[in-house]
Amino acid sequence: MSGFRNLGFLGVGLVLAGCAHYATPGGPANMRVMMSPEARAIQTDGPVGQAIDKKPLAKLPASVAVVRVQAPGYRSATAESWGQGSYSIVTTQDIQGEEAGMEKLGKLPMIRGLAPLNRLLLPSQLNSDLELRQAAGALHADMLLIYTLDTSFNVEDVAVPLSVITIGLSPNQVARVTCTASAVLLDTRNGYVYGVAEATDKQKQLASAWTNEAAVDQTRRRVEAEAFSKLVGNLEGMWSGVVNEVAQIQ
Residue 13 lies in a domain: no
Give residue 45's pLDDT band: very low, low, confident or very high (50, 70, 90).
low
8: pLDDT strictly greater than 90: no
Please indicate, yes or no, if residue 95 is contained in any of the structural domains: yes
Q: What is the pLDDT of residues 185-202, one digit of tens each?
A: 999 999 999 999 999 999
Distances (CA, A) of 235 to 20, 104, 133, 180: 73, 10, 19, 14
Q: What's the mean pLDDT in 153-168? A: 59
- Residue 31 CA to residue 60 CA, distance in Å, equals 41
Identify the burial level of 157 via C-beta atoms within 10 angstroms of its C-beta, where 0-12 means exposed, 13-18 middle and 19 or more buried: exposed
244 CA to centre of own chain: 20
Q: Is residue 71 part of a domain?
A: yes
How many whole angstroms separate alpha carbon 93 and alpha carbon 97?
Answer: 9
> Considering the domain boundaries, does residue 202 fall inside one?
yes
Q: How would you label 190-221 residue by residue, b for 16+ Cβ within 10 Å and e otherwise?
A: ebbebbebebebeeeeebeebeeeeebeebbb
d(CA 17, CA 128): 72
Q: What is the pLDDT of residues 109-154, one digit of tens each?
A: 999 999 999 999 999 999 999 999 999 999 999 999 999 999 988 8
Indicate if the alpha-carbon torsion angle 32, 35, 36, 42 is positive or negative. positive
Lowest-confidence pick of 11-15, 65-69, 77-81, 228-232? 11-15
> What is the pLDDT of the chain when averaged over all its residues?
80
Confidence band (pLDDT; 50, 70, 90) for 33?
A: low
- Determine, yes or no, domain membership for 170: yes
What is the tally of structural domains in the chain?
Answer: 1
What's the pTM value of the predicted model, to 2 decimals?
0.76
The answer to whether residue 86 is domain-embedded is: yes
CATH number (domain holding residue 167) = 3.40.50
pLDDT of residue 153: 84
Report if residue 15 sits inside a domain: no
Residue 5 lies in a domain: no
User: Residue 204 is part of which domain span?
Assistant: 58-249
